[in-house]
Amino acid sequence: MTIFTRKTKNFGKLGSYLSSYLFLAILGGALVVGGIWLTRTWFEATPPEIQLLPEVKLLGASQNFTLNVSDATSGLSRVRVWLRQGQQEKEIVNQTFPGRRWGRGGREQSAQLTLNLEPQAWGFQDGPADLRVEARDYSWWGWLQGNRGQLVRPVTIDLTPLRLSFISTNEFINQGGTGLVLYQVNKPMAKSGILVNGEFFAGFPIPGGAAGQYLAFFAVPYFLPQPLTLELLAVDQGGTEARSRVSYRLKPKKWRNDRINLSDAFLTTNMPEFQSFNPELKSLTDPLEVFLRINRDERQRNDALIREVCRQSQPERFWQGTFLRLPNSKSMAAFADQRTYFYQGREVDRQVHLGQDLASLERAEVPAANNGLVVFTGSIGIYGQSVILDHGLGIFTLYSHLSEISVAKGQKINRGAILGRTGTTGLAGGDHLHYSVMVQGAFVNPLEWWDPKWIKDQVERQLAGLGAVAAPVKPAASEAKPKKPRPKGRTPEKKTR
């Protein structure tokens, strides 16, 4: 009995120890879990996120900002915004946000505030300053002060009023042609140029001109269903905008009508090439439907590509004097011809021809119209194998339907240098060159750029009136003279498409 009683007492002590250890283990685990939960909730250490838009670093007399603050865990407690310059400060926002009961975080996890800064009205001066943002959340971290997020945006205050002054424009402008306007601004610009019925053409500092003098070439629309509006636009680095209407004298133009008869031979010969590289056309069995898709949709895509290539132009002037045309060539189609397409006697489509078609000998050498930089070589849908040159200050030329290309992108080209040879690539019905002039991607009448009197009266005279002619920058060491094409075949008889 004594032994049995002793064993029972030992087992009782062991059970008591195990119960104590189990209790401590459970308590320790609860404390760990609770600690993790607290650090992820009430004691989380992630500061609020701050975003201030736009990303400008220059303040004018008045500037609007959008402030986005967020805290997805503890919620927002307070946001403060102020502008500081030296010892001077101006509080712009000091906003608190409501919290939940028992310290369970804030009710607002995000907020968007509109800030209106008026440094001039607040008595600030030109020069550097800091725009500061501080945001706190409802976390118990930081001795119950919450996490602090902050943003410091160094800015420069510029209170000089923007002045935009008109200098001159063409004596007259031709419908479908190129215009030129000169203007003056009194401070660095983020953007300036001219709006033509709302379409923007960027300006460039006048090479050789005084500080703040700009020029902008612009395209006059070939189709004018509404009155033409020209308006200078300047936006300084602080976002302040100035506008000025430009008066003009417009010479209207009546464009030719051209009838294009589509033959079965043309359709069956040319359409399979387009179907081979366009998946959308492969399932079509009617050559006429293929042609219409190409003539409409592909044409729009190609013109959009050309605009994109011509979006950025060199700020130097490469070109000098008149632009060359294809030597010994005959004009087959003109700029802005109103083309009506017929198939088996019925009208099937209408399009506008945005260039000059020139026919010489088959595979005739194609010279560069003027000094420039090659910015594109390759196939452009209906235009076939093509080359685009940037002549600087927004002026570009396009050479299309080539059978051969002799230059590469990035190459500097002299006036008269051979770019390739004429051909029938793309949507062409015979060997010829499709030649276009573009102003920042907008097609204009090439005839003006072939006319020495127009260039002298409408371009050079304006620049000379400033007392500083914009001297051309040659892209290469010497100017090549156009080579006379050698007879390599017969003159094409087919009408161009």
List pLDDT tens digits, range 229-268: 999 999 998 788 999 999 999 999 999 999 999 999 999 9
In whole angstroms, how far apart are CA 205 and each of 226, 243, 314?
31, 18, 11
208 and 281 co-located in one domain: no
Q: 32 lies in a domain?
A: no
In whole angstroms, how far apart are CA 290 and each of 268, 283, 299, 316, 387?
10, 10, 13, 43, 26
pLDDT exceeds 90 at position 437: yes
Asked if 370 contacts 362 with a C-beta cutoff of 8 angstroms, the reply is no
Q: 404 lies in a domain?
A: yes
pLDDT at 261: 94
pLDDT exceeds 50 at position 492: no
Q: Which of 13-22, 172-181, 343-352 has the lowest mean pLDDT?
A: 13-22
Structure tokens at 469: 């002619």
List, edge to edge, every strand of the sheet that includes 204-205. Answer: 164-169, 178-185, 213-219, 204-205
Q: 101 lies in a domain?
A: yes
340 pLDDT tier (thresholds 50, 70, 90): very high
- Domain containing 222 equals 164-251
| pLDDT tens digits, one per residue of 299-333 | 999 999 999 999 999 999 999 999 999 999 999 99
| pLDDT tens digits, one per residue of 135-149 | 999 887 766 678 999
pLDDT at 377: 98
451 pLDDT tier (thresholds 50, 70, 90): very high
Q: Which of 399, 397, 400 lies closest to 446 in space, CA to CA?
A: 397
Neighbours of 188 (CB within 10 A): 12
Structure tokens at 356: 């000059």
81 and 110 co-located in one domain: yes
Q: Which of 1-15, 106-120, 150-164, 449-463 has the lowest mean pLDDT?
A: 1-15
Asked if 44 contacts 141 with a C-beta cutoff of 8 angstroms, the reply is yes
What CATH number did the domain enclosing 375 receive? 2.70.70.10
The residue from 123, 157, 191 where one domain ends is 157
In whole angstroms, how far apart are CA 170 and each of 116, 175, 351, 463?
41, 13, 30, 11
Structure tokens at 456: 């002298």
pLDDT at 269: 87
305 and 401 co-located in one domain: yes
pLDDT at 482: 41
| More confidently predicted of 351 and 495 | 351
| pLDDT tens digits, one per residue of 41-61 | 566 888 999 999 998 888 888
The span from the CA of 24 to the CA of 16, in Å, is 12
Structure tokens at 165: 């002054």
397 and 289 co-located in one domain: yes
Return the half-sphere exposure (C-beta side, CA atoms, 13 A cut-off) of residue 309. 26
Structure tokens at 342: 């017929």
Q: 497 lies in a domain?
A: no
| More confidently predicted of 432 and 484 | 432
267 and 302 co-located in one domain: yes
What CATH number did the domain enclosing 66 receive? 2.60.40.3880
Asked if 229 contacts 197 with a C-beta cutoff of 8 angstroms, the reply is yes
pLDDT at 58: 87
pLDDT at 171: 87
452 and 366 co-located in one domain: yes
Q: 225 lies in a domain?
A: yes
pLDDT at 187: 92
Where are the extended beta strands (E) located within 344-469? 346-353, 356-359, 365-367, 372-379, 385-390, 395-405, 412-413, 418-422, 433-439, 442-444
**Count of domains in the chain?**
3
307 and 188 co-located in one domain: no
- pTM for the whole structure: 0.78
Q: 472 lies in a domain?
A: no
Q: Which of 340, 476, 485, 343 lies closest to 420 in space, CA to CA?
A: 485
483 pLDDT tier (thresholds 50, 70, 90): very low
490 pLDDT tier (thresholds 50, 70, 90): very low
Q: Which of 95-99, 247-251, 275-279, 351-355 has the lowest mean pLDDT?
A: 275-279
237 and 353 co-located in one domain: no
Average pLDDT of the residues in 363-369: 97
Structure tokens at 390: 């940037």
Average pLDDT of the residues in 173-179: 97
Q: Which of 438, 445, 460 lies closest to 171 in space, CA to CA?
A: 460
The rounded mean pLDDT for the chain is 87
Q: What is the DSSP letter of 220?
A: P
What region, left, alpha or beta, does residue 87 occupy, with left being phi > 0 and alpha being psi -120 to 50 degrees? alpha
Q: Is 403 helix (H, G, I), strand (E, B) or coil?
A: strand
Average pLDDT of the residues in 180-184: 97
pLDDT exceeds 90 at position 63: no
